[in-house]
Structure 1
Amino acid sequence: MATHLITGAGSGIGEAVTRRLHARGDDLILLARDAGRAKELAAAHPGARTLVADLADPDRISWAFSHQPMPDRLDSLVHVAGIVDLGPIAEMRPKTWHQQLNVNLISPAELTRLLLPQLRASRGQVVFINSGAGLRASPQWGVYAASKHGLKALADSLRQEEHAHGVRVTSIHPGRTASPMQAKVHSQEGKEYDPSEWIDPESVATTVVTAIDLPRDAEITDLSVRPGR
């Protein structure tokens, strides 16, 4: 049975990935920001284990893990959690930069660092849910795009560094996906939100599962997913 650690499992793409892997009987470890959220995730996905660490505070992730049982091996680490706060660069203060860089880039780097021994043990895979903004930046999206461009650089470097250990690394770049984050983006843009106009999270989950299940003679390195409507 494969073991997967998933961040952002409570909604959107992360929830869809979690449901898909849970339904086929894989062993799941769901990262939660606090004990209350961990209890909710465990109730929603019976049999799943939880770990508690706040991605907003990457400096304390190692400490948090040192106080919890850790898996011996991992077949995949799926980074889905992320935050977005739009606005012009001229108005973005350091606090906004730190918030998005911590959750979207620094914490994924720290989680990966801490879990590499388990991933190497199983010749596993790291999957980063990036964004179209990780390939091109638009007005008002500068801070978020910077965090996602950095995440792609992290993945590209990690892929080459870990090749000798048999660890595969995949970046998936979805376009706008129907999710609570997308609802927030529309609110910040002052636009009406219609989830039917955007990618279903289940479609992105399909790409994640495909990357994980790909035979070992191949590796999906970068994959862009765009709305088909």
Structure 2
Amino acid sequence: MATWNELFLDDKYIEILPQPEVYKFIKMLEGVFPGETLSIWDFCCGAGRHTLLVSQMGHNAFGSDISENGIANTRQLIEEKGLTANLKVADMTENPFPGQVFHGAFSWNALHHNTTENIEKAVANIYDSLCDGGMFMASLISTKGGGYGRGKKIEEDTFVSEEGYEAGVPHHYFDYAGIKELFGRWEIVGLVEHVSTYMEAEENFHDFNPFPYTKWNIIARK
């Protein structure tokens, strides 16, 4: 059973290029807070591609992840570019930046890797850390996805993978009602469900799948 710390030692599990959605979200924040140097939290930053992007765009970058190797990789990326970022090893239920107020935060393909209770704690921490009008963007897997129901069920809509590179990793799947409940005290700026239907795939295709999965994308405002 691999851990995130072990996965981030293998280059094949490390994403290099930033998501266009994250770049556009940062540009959106620049429009909301014009002329300001923003403080932006890359929540569950993994190997650091988006923390690097925040710093490259001239803002105060903060990154946290449970993986020590992920944070080490992020630090190396930042230092190689002569940039700076505030980096912490932390579980997603913890706030490693107490007292820091953020203009924005985002979590890409990470927040759903936990139980419902812990995801709720994480989102509450983010909400409490944002300034008034601050925004959070997240991607979350959908109950319509092909992986729903695979693995050991540990609670409603949460399954732990039993094979492949994510063996032992929990996946919580969201339907519309679940998303609305999770973000109940937020103002929804945009909520989109992207549905991908895989018609054919070889046995090991999903180990290195270049295509998107069925998921929710949300931007919410405090």
TM-score, length basis structure 2: 0.52
Q: Give the Å deviation of 1:39.
A: 3.0
- Secondary structure in 2 matching 1:82: coil
- Which residues of 2 match residues 46-195 of structure 1 at below 5 A? 46-55=83-92, 58=93, 61=94, 65=95, 68-82=96-110, 100-102=113-115, 105-119=116-130, 121-131=131-141, 133-135=142-144, 140-141=149-150, 143=153, 146=158, 147-149=172-174, 153=177, 155-163=179-187, 168=188, 171=191, 173=193, 190-192=203-205
The separation in 2 between residues aligned to 1:41 and 1:108, in whole angstroms, is 23
- 1:198 aligned onto 2:211: yes
Q: Gapped runs of 5+ residues in structure 2? A: 1-36, 159-171
Q: Give the Å deviation of 1:4.
A: 1.7
Q: 1:5 aligns with which of 23, 28, 41?
A: 41
The separation in 2 between residues aligned to 1:79 and 1:117, in whole angstroms, is 16
The structure whose RCO (Cα within 8 Å, separation 6+) is larger is 1
Q: Is the CA contact 1:126–1:169 (under 8 Å) kept in the aligned structure 2?
A: no
The separation in 1 between residues aligned to 2:62 and 2:178, in whole angstroms, is 23
Q: Give the Å deviation of 1:122.
A: 3.5
Q: Is the CA contact 1:155–1:171 (under 8 Å) kept in the aligned structure 2?
A: no
In 2 relative to 1, CA 42–70 (structure 1 residues): closer, same or farther, beyond 3 Å?
farther
Q: Give the Å deviation of 1:110.
A: 1.2
- Letter of the structure 1 residue corresponding to residue 45 of structure 2: A
Q: Is the CA contact 1:128–1:172 (under 8 Å) kept in the aligned structure 2?
A: no
**CA-to-aligned-CA distance 1:178-229 (integer Å, 9 cap, x gap):** xxxxxxxx8xx833459585249xxx9xxx8xx87xxxxxx79xxxxxxxxx
Report the equivalent of 2:65.
Answer: 32
- Letter of the structure 2 residue corresponding to residue 190 of structure 1: E
Which protein is richer in helix relative to its size?
1
Q: Gapped runs of 5+ residues in structure 1? A: 85-99, 177-185, 213-218, 221-229
Aligned residues: 160
Q: Is the CA contact 1:127–1:171 (under 8 Å) kept in the aligned structure 2?
A: no
The separation in 2 between residues aligned to 1:157 and 1:32, in whole angstroms, is 25
Q: Is the CA contact 1:3–1:29 (under 8 Å) kept in the aligned structure 2?
A: yes
